[in-house]
Each structure stands twice: as C-alpha cells, then as structure tokens.
Amino acid sequence: MEVFFVVLAIIAAGAALVYFLNSSMGMQLVHKKTVSTILNDVTAIQRSAPQTPLHEIYESLPECPAQKGGDEWQPVAKRR
C-alpha cells in the first residue's frame, strides 16, 4: 500500500509541475531563466576568449613601401 501512495504522490507532483509550466506565470519564469542563462553563457564566452595583444595587431598591419625606412608609419589605404 505504501508503494501505491508514493507512486501516486510522484504522479501528482509531476501533474502539478506540468500544470505550472503550462500556466502563463510558469512560462514567464522559464523564459526569463532561459534568456538569463543564454546571456550569462555569452558573457562568459566573451570573457574567456583570448584577446590579441595590441603590438601583434600593429605588427601585422601592412606598411607603405616608401615609408619603411622612415619614422612615420602610413597604412596602405593612404598610399598614393
């Protein structure tokens, strides 16, 4: 008889959970939690991504051949 009441209690709890999740309040709670989880995951990924040091970016930019010997650096877009 005990097993019957335990199974009945589990079924009742599952039915209550399904009813709550299908209600408007339950859907709002699930939606807010889902959006919050997604935003937290995106933020964590952005923070964990390695950032390229500025000196590597500067060294990888192409230089104007006429300016290689000079002190002044000009990007390729300003060549004439």
Residue type, 44: A
pLDDT at 14: 92
Q: Cα separation of 61 and 22, whole Å? A: 56
Q: Splitting the chain (80 residues) into consecutive groups of 10 residues, what average pLDDT does each group show?
A: 91 92 84 82 80 79 62 57
pLDDT at 67: 53
CA quadruple 16, 17, 20, 21: dihedral, nearest 10: -150
Q: Are 64 and 79 in contact (CB under 8 A)?
A: yes
Q: Which domain holds residue 10?
A: 2-78
pLDDT at 13: 94
Look up the pTM and report it: 0.39
Query: Tokens 């997604």 correspond to what residue?
Result: 38
- Look at the chain and report how many structural domains it folds into: 1
Q: Please list, residue by residue across 13-30, b when 16 or more beta carbons sit within 10 angstroms of its beta carbon and e when fewer do.
A: eeeeeeeeeeeeeeeeee
